[in-house]
Chain A
Amino acid sequence: MAAEALFPLQPGDRLVTRVFALVIAVTLILAFAALMLVVQPYSQLSRVEPDPGSAPYTVEQARGRDQYVSLGCVYCHTQQPRDRDFGTDDERGWGRVSTPADYQWDYPHQLGTMRTGPDLFNIGARQSSEDWHLTHLYQPRAVSPGSIMPAFPFLFEVKDEAGEDDVVVQVPPAYAPAIGVVVAKPEALDLVAYLISLDHTYPSAWLETEEAADEQ
Chain B
Amino acid sequence: MTPTLATLLLITFAVSVLSLVVLGWAVWRHHMRWGPAAARVIFGPREEGIPEEPAVPAGEEKRIRPEADLDSLPEAAREELLDRAEADRSSAAPVLLFLLSSTVWLVVGSIVGVVVALKFTFPDWLTGSALLTFGRLRPIHLNAVIYGWLSMAGIAVMLWLLPRVLRTRLRGTWWAVTGGVIWNVAVTAGLIALAFGWTDGLEWMEIPWAIDILFVLAGGLMAVPLFATLKHRRVGHLYVSVWYFAAALVWFPILFVIGNWPNLHFGVEHAAVNWWFAHNVLGLWLTPIGLGAAYYLIPKVLGKPIYSYSLSLVGFWALALFYSQAGIHHLIGGPVPTWLVTLSIVQSVMMVIPVIAVAINHHVTMVGHFRALRHSPTLRFVVAGAMMYTAVSLTGSLQSLRSVNQLVHFTHYTVGHAHMGVYAFASMIVFGAIYFLVPRVTAREWPRPALISWHFWLSFLGVGLYVVALTIGGVLQGLAMMDPDLPFIESVRVTLPYLHARSVGGAMMTAGHLVFAYHVAVLVLGRGPVRQEAPWRPKLSSLSNPEIAS
Contact = CB atoms under 8 A, between A and B. Distances in A.
A127 interface: no
Given A113-B330, A118-B488, A3 B271 contact: no
Contacts of A12: 26, 29-30, 33-34
Interface centre among B40, B201, B491 (most CB of A within 10 A): B201
Interface centre among A36, A83, A118, A151 (most CB of B within 10 A): A36
Contacts of B124: 141, 150-151
B409 A30 contact: no
A9 B276 contact: no
A16 B337 CA distance: 38
A7 B37 contact: yes
Interface of A: 1-4, 6-13, 15-17, 19, 22-23, 26-27, 29-30, 32-34, 36-38, 40-42, 44-46, 48, 69-76, 78, 80, 82-83, 86-88, 91-92, 97-100, 102-104, 106-111, 113-118, 140-141, 144-154
Contacts of B368: none
A90 B370 CA distance: 53
Interface of B: 5, 8, 12, 15, 26, 29-30, 33-34, 37-38, 40-41, 45, 76, 79, 119-120, 123-124, 127-130, 133-136, 138-139, 167, 197-203, 227, 230-231, 234-238, 243, 246-247, 250-251, 254-255, 258, 265-274, 276, 284, 313, 320-321, 324-325, 327-328, 330-331, 333-337, 340, 343-344, 402, 406, 409-412, 414-415, 481-484, 488-489, 491-493, 496
Contact of A115 (B255, B340, B411): B411
Contact of A33 (B325, B488, B491, B493): B325
B270 A109 contact: yes
A11 B29 CA distance: 10
A17 B197 contact: no
A42 to B, nearest CB: 5
A70 B327 CA distance: 25
Given A34-B258, A40-B5, A41-B272, A3 B234 contact: yes
Contacts of A111: 268, 271, 331, 334-335
A88 B484 contact: yes
9 contacts: A7-B37, A7-B40, A12-B34, A15-B26, A36-B8, A37-B340, A41-B273, A72-B133, A75-B203
Nearest to A12: B30
B133 A37 contact: no
Nearest to B255: A30
Contacts of B199: 69-70, 72
Contacts of A153: 127-128
Contacts of A87: 333, 406, 481-482
Given A71-B130, A108-B270, A27 B254 contact: yes
B135 A86 contact: no
Contacts of A86: 333, 402, 406
Given A3-B234, A19-B231, A41-B340, 14 more contacts: A12-B29, A12-B30, A22-B243, A75-B139, A82-B334, A87-B406, A88-B483, A103-B271, A113-B414, A114-B411, A115-B411, A145-B489, A147-B492, A150-B134
A10 B266 CA distance: 50
Given A38-B276, A41-B340, A115 B481 contact: yes
Contacts of B271: 103, 109, 111
B123 A107 contact: no
A83 B268 CA distance: 16
